[in-house]
């Protein structure tokens, strides 16, 4: 069996990735398929941390949140990420994968508080650690949380799992001539405003020399191919 290039990773999942073809909420079949890919690399000995977004849950209440104070809306979004983290943990349990949820907000009835040392110990024990509630602060995205947690747990790479198989010169759904980048620099991603991650996340990864890989979690075996260092998706690095 080929050996993984990366031994410890931070996987960023958007909340929308859990929706499947639904308008909002959690599609169980989609979550099960994602967990199967994670289980495959865990069985290869890869240590996996996951930061998850909450857009799929928050989308259902977005009309009611219109005009709401931004900080209040952001805290609601953080709670949505904890809901997603709990759903993901449950799916992993059913798949035979040991997982722990750590929350940046203090919700001890449903999740452990985020403690860096404990998270690293879980990873070393082969458990998947799912980080909920973003950074715990409003005005920061879960992309930024992924960059931050990736650096904190000494991950070797941040993997941004999307519905698109990499970063393109334009939106491939709108422009059939758009081409995929195999590799792009942090500065180019920031200067060209490539919206796959926000500028704060790109900047943090650049400053800490943390490589990023952007790929489609919906391509069968894509996560494993990234871990093996194969030409899958787009790599962002210096």
Q: Is residue 72 part of a domain?
A: yes
Q: Is residue 1 part of a domain?
A: no
Q: Is residue 47 part of a domain?
A: yes
Q: Is residue 97 part of a domain?
A: yes
Q: What percent of the chain has pLDDT over 90?
A: 75
Please enumerate, by residue number, every residue annotated as part of a binding site for UMP: 54, 74, 135-142
**What would the pLDDT profile of 134-157 be if each residue is shown by its tens digit?**
999 999 999 999 999 999 999 999
Q: Is residue 77 part of a domain?
A: yes
pTM reported for the whole predicted model: 0.94
Residue 26: Cβ within 10 Å count:
18
Q: Is residue 92 part of a domain?
A: yes
Considering its fold, how many domains does the chain have in total? 1
Q: Is residue 3 part of a domain?
A: no
Q: Is residue 99 part of a domain?
A: yes
Q: What is the pLDDT of residue 90?
A: 97
Question: Exposed (0-12), middle (13-18) or buried (19+): which is 67, by Cβ within 10 Å?
Answer: exposed
Please enumerate, by residue number, every residue annotated as part of a binding site for ATP: 12-15, 55, 59, 162, 168, 171
Range of the domain at 79: 8-237
CATH of residue 165's domain is 3.40.1160.10
pLDDT at 235 over 90: yes
Please enumerate, by residue number, every residue annotated as part of a binding site: 12-15, 54-55, 59, 74, 135-142, 162, 168, 171
């Amino acid at each position: 069996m080929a050996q993984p290039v990366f031994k410890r990773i931070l996987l960023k999942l958007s909340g929308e990735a859990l929706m499947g073809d639904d308008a909002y909420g959690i599609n169980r079949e989609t979550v099960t398929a994602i967990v199967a890919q994670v289980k495959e690399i865990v069985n290869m000995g890869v240590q996996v941390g996951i930061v998850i977004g909450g857009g799929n849950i928050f989308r259902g209440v977005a009309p009611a949140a219109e005009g709401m104070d931004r900080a209040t809306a952001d805290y609601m979004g953080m709670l949505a990420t904890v809901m997603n983290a709990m759903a993901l943990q449950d799916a992993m349990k059913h798949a035979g994968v040991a997982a722990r949820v750590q929350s940046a907000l203090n919700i001890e009835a449903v999740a452990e508080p985020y403690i860096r040392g404990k998270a690293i110990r879980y990873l070393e024990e082969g458990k998947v650690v799912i980080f909920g509630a973003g950074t715990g602060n409003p005005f920061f995205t879960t992309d930024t949380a992924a960059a931050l947690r990736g650096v904190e747990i000494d991950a070797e790479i941040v993997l941004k799992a999307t519905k698109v198989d990499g970063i393109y010169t334009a939106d491939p759904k709108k422009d059939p001539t758009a081409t995929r980048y195999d590799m792009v620099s942090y500065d180019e991603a920031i200067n060209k405003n490539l919206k796959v991650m926000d500028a704060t996340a790109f900047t943090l990864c650049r400053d800490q020399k943390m490589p990023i890989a952007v790929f489609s979690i919906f391509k069968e075996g894509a996560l494993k191919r990234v871990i093996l260092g194969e030409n899958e998706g787009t790599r962002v690095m210096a």
